[in-house]
Amino acid sequence: MEISYLKQNEIDIKKWDNCIAGSINGIVYAYSWYLDIVCEKWEALVMGDYETVMPLTYNKKFGISYLYQPAFTQQLGVFSSQNLSEEIVFRFVKSIPKKYSFVEICLNKFNLISPDNNIKTHQKITYELELIKDYESLFMRYKKNTIRNIRKAIQNKVTIVPGLKPNDVLNLIDSSGNKQGYTEKDLAIIRRLIAGAGRKKTGQLYGAYTERNSLCAVGFFVHSNKKVCFILSVANEEAKETGSMFLLIDEFIKQYASRNMILDFEGSNIDGIARFYAGFGAKPANYTAMKINKLFFPLRLIKR
């Protein structure tokens, strides 16, 4: 089947979202409402009548059009209700319009592609936890350090509360110093994501409160397609000292245990964060980061 390139105003949003909902590799990042929030401009490659699709998240700077991986969006790539062969993924990648002289995006874990002279790839890691077993069985897989920190949080009388508001999160980020590395644009996206997930009834926002009823940690989870993505975590120094984030994630697992879902912790290639997620029994899963550099000299060397 032919692969068509569609500009943003040409995309049939209903068919697009139906494709993502019915995809074997569907994920919340690929729904139109999510893309609209994290990426001001996106286009699409579509095969057939939206049987298989690929979002093109783009921007333009200094007259150069390029594809990039938006913030708060771990994996995108090709989505389909059918098993995706490496050939199909390769066809989609080769169908990216030539006007995009630089491409740096992440495919999803179901997208296999081999590097060639123009396509450079490397593997990234996420951590996933299957929630289908009961809580007691899941807890038995926790590492000793994780259990120790959960008990520390309980001893410090930390309480976990669902149903926070966007301002609660933003205020915690602001009070934690340096805004935790987030730009003003990032903060606006966080606000809109929390509100958007609330409207779609797909988001869960958990907060950890100290004994003095002070918010010290936040976890933002969004679910779709039998997968929960851990989109955002914020913790101040008090949370780190009391083990609050350990208790927060444990409480989430407790609430979602025995469901046919996967908790995707969204990373990480950083050893300390990877150990933290692995401490809950999560297993590593690879996905591919891809780069295509057709920039003119000398920009090609700068972005090599």
Domain ranges of the chain: 3-123+288-302, 132-260
Name the pLDDT band for 29 (thresholds 50, 70, 90).
very high
- Quote the pLDDT of residue 62: 81
Predicted confidence at residue 297, as pLDDT, reads 57
Query: Per-residue pLDDT for 300 more than 60?
Result: no
pLDDT of the residue at 177? 67
- Judge contact between 45 and 89, C-beta under 8 A: no
Spatial CB neighbours of 287, under 8 Å, sequence gap ≥ 6: 74, 75, 106, 107, 108, 109, 111, 123, 124, 126
167-184: average pLDDT: 84
Distance CA 236, CA 40 (A): 31
pLDDT at 299: 55
Task: Round to whole Å and give the CA distance between 49 and 273.
Answer: 41
Structure-model confidence comparison of residues 244 and 269, the more confident one: 244
Q: Do domains 3-123+288-302 and 132-260 have the same CATH topology?
A: yes
Which of 53-62, 124-133, 201-210, 291-300 shows the lowest per-residue confidence on average (mean pLDDT)? 291-300
Residue ranges of alpha helices (H) inside 3-94 are 13-22, 32-38, 86-94
Q: What is the pLDDT of residues 77-133, one digit of tens each?
A: 999 999 999 999 999 999 999 999 999 999 999 999 998 878 999 999 999 999 999
Range scoring the smallest mean pLDDT among 121-125, 199-203, 264-268: 264-268
234 phi and psi angles, rounded to 5 deg: -135, 130
The pLDDT value recorded for residue 302 is 45
Query: 73 to each of 124, 142, 201, 285, how far by Cα in Å?
Result: 14, 27, 19, 16
DSSP annotation of 286: E
The two most distant CA atoms of the chain are separated, in Å, by 62
* Average per-residue pLDDT for the chain: 93
- Positive or negative torsion for Cα 148, 281, 290, 114: positive
pLDDT score of 294 more than 90: no
Q: How far is CA 85 from the centre of its chain?
A: 23
HSE at residue 26, side-chain half, CA atoms within 13 A, is 21
CATH topology of domain 132-260: Aminopeptidase (3.40.630)
- Closest of 54, 50, 51 to residue 42, by C-alpha: 54
Which residue's entry shows tokens 């890691």?
Answer: 125
Q: Give the architecture (CATH level 2) of 3-123+288-302.
A: 3-Layer(aba) Sandwich (3.40)
Sequence-separated (6 or more) residues with CB below 8 Å from residue 284: 125, 126, 127, 274, 278
Which stretches does DSSP call E strand in the chain?
3-6, 42-47, 52-61, 64-68, 79-80, 100-106, 119-130, 159-162, 203-209, 215-224, 227-235, 262-264, 283-293
pLDDT at 41: 93
pLDDT band of 268, cuts 50, 70, 90: confident
Residue 231, Cα to own-chain centre: how many angstroms?
6
Nearest-5° Cα angle at 92, 90 to 95: 110
The whole-model pTM stands at 0.93
Residue with the bigger pLDDT between 64 and 159: it is 159
Give pLDDT tens digits for 208-253: 999 999 999 999 999 999 999 999 999 999 999 999 999 999 999 9
